[in-house]
């Protein structure tokens, strides 16, 4: 399968690196408006460097769109309409309307559309999903140090990963949202905490911050008979099951607690980005829906925008 990577920034360069290692895939083009940057990324993989994204039409079977979010629809829509399968980086678009345009273009062109919510392919998350059974509440924390490279709200930049994860685990749609935020280093949200409830009656609290001193990516899932802790950075899963016993002794009521801690073996291994690309291309070959569809990406965007609105009551 011939594939192009459109966008040679940090994310696009990573995508090009991974695409160059996939079996039965030929990275043929790297596209960037900066010709020198496109050439640098392309030369490492023997690909052709071009500056016009639409020039790959007729030359490739699939494309990875890793451009600034506001350019996603401008590039993905004509490619999808021509039947080129696309993996569009998250967020799917800068607005719900543009996200809907991208989804409609995929349907019109009969192309497979996937959205790059890469944490769905984290081996720890893949393993944890096997133990999710009737979640009650989900807690997420995604914290890291400040980077001047990113100017978007921490909600659409970081928290959107976890909004997508909790939506998939809750098996429902957003019913209510409340949020608070802090602006410290930029003119938009640098730290945000949201409390959401889904129509499946699952609740979730989510924190995203770029004011931390080190990176942390964790998820806690409270269930009726267990608690799952997922460390997405270390790719570890811990399951805690507790039993409380109460009895009466010579000194009155006594409580005893005992429990079991399970650490399942991670069966799926590999870089999440590699697993994501492979699944997207398999879906394209088989003509089936990918694990993270355009509709999934659109709903994650809707949730992120709802959180942003809740953080800014003065603009509501």
The pLDDT tens digits along the chain (316 residues) read 999 999 999 999 999 999 999 989 999 999 999 999 999 999 999 999 999 999 999 999 999 999 999 999 999 999 999 999 999 999 999 999 999 999 999 999 999 999 999 999 999 999 999 999 999 999 999 999 998 777 789 999 999 999 999 999 999 999 999 999 999 999 999 999 999 999 999 999 999 999 999 999 999 999 999 999 999 999 999 999 876 666 666 666 666 666 778 888 787 778 999 999 999 999 999 999 999 999 999 999 999 999 999 999 876 5
pLDDT at 166: 97
User: Does the N-terminal peptide bond of residue 155 adopt cis geometry, omega within 30 degrees of 0?
Assistant: no
- CA distances to 44, 159, 203 from 199, rounded to whole Å, are 48, 20, 9
pLDDT at 245: 61
| Range list for CATH 3.30.360.10 in the chain | 120-271+302-315
CB-based contacts of 80: which residues, under 8 Å, 6+ apart? Answer: 86, 102, 105, 106, 108, 109, 111, 113
**H/E stretch holding 127:** helix 123-128
How far is Cα of residue 69 from the mean position of the Cα atoms in its chain? Answer: 14
Neighbours of 159 (CB within 10 A): 27
Pick the CATH number of 120-271+302-315 from 3.40.1160.10, 3.30.360.10, 3.90.1640.10, 3.30.43.10: 3.30.360.10
pLDDT at 248: 65
d(CA 162, CA 141): 8
Written as six digits, the tokens of 316 are 């509501």
pLDDT at 124: 96
Say which CATH architecture domain 2-111 belongs to: 3-Layer(aba) Sandwich (3.40)
Residue 150 CB-density burial (10 A; 0-12 exposed, 13-18 middle, 19+ buried): middle
pLDDT at 242: 79
Residues in the chain: 316
Q: Are 218 and 162 in contact (CB under 8 A)?
A: no
| Range list for CATH 3.40.50.720 in the chain | 2-111
CA-nearest of 312, 316, 307, 302 to 178 is 307
pLDDT at 244: 65
pLDDT at 287: 94
């Amino acid at each position: 399968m011939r594939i192009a990577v459109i966008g040679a920034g940090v994310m696009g360069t990573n995508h090009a690196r991974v695409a160059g290692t996939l079996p039965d895939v030929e990275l043929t083009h790297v596209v960037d408006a900066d010709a020198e940057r496109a050439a640098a990324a392309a030369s490492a993989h023997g690909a052709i460097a071009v500056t016009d994204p639409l020039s790959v039409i007729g030359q490739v079977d699939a494309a990875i769109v890793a451009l600034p979010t506001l350019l996603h629809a401008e590039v993905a829509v004509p490619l999808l309409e021509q039947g080129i399968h696309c993996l569009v980086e998250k967020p799917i678009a800068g607005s719900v309307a543009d996200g809907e345009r991208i989804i409609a273009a995929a349907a019109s062109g009969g192309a497979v559309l996937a959205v790059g919510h890469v944490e769905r392919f984290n081996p720890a998350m893949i393993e944890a999903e096997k133990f999710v059974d009737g979640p009650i509440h989900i807690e997420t924390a995604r914290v890291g140090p400040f980077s001047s490279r990113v100017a978007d709200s921490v909600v659409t930049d970081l928290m959107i990963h976890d909004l997508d994860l909790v939506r998939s685990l809750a098996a429902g749609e957003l019913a209510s949202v409340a949020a608070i935020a802090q602006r410290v280093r930029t003119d938009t949200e640098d730290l945000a905490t949201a409390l959401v409830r889904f129509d499946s009656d699952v609740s979730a609290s989510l924190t995203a911050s770029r004011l931390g001193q080190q990176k942390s990516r964790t998820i806690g899932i409270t269930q009726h008979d267990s608690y799952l802790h997922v460390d997405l950075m270390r790719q570890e899963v811990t399951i805690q099951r507790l039993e409380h016993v109460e009895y009466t002794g010579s000194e009155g009521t006594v409580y005893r607690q005992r429990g079991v801690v399970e650490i399942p073996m991670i069966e799926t291994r590999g870089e999440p980005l590699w697993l994501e690309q492979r699944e997207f291309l398999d879906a394209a070959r088989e003509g089936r829906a990918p694990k993270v569809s355009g509709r999934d990406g659109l709903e994650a965007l809707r949730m992120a925008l709802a959180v942003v609105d809740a953080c800014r009551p003065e603009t509501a």
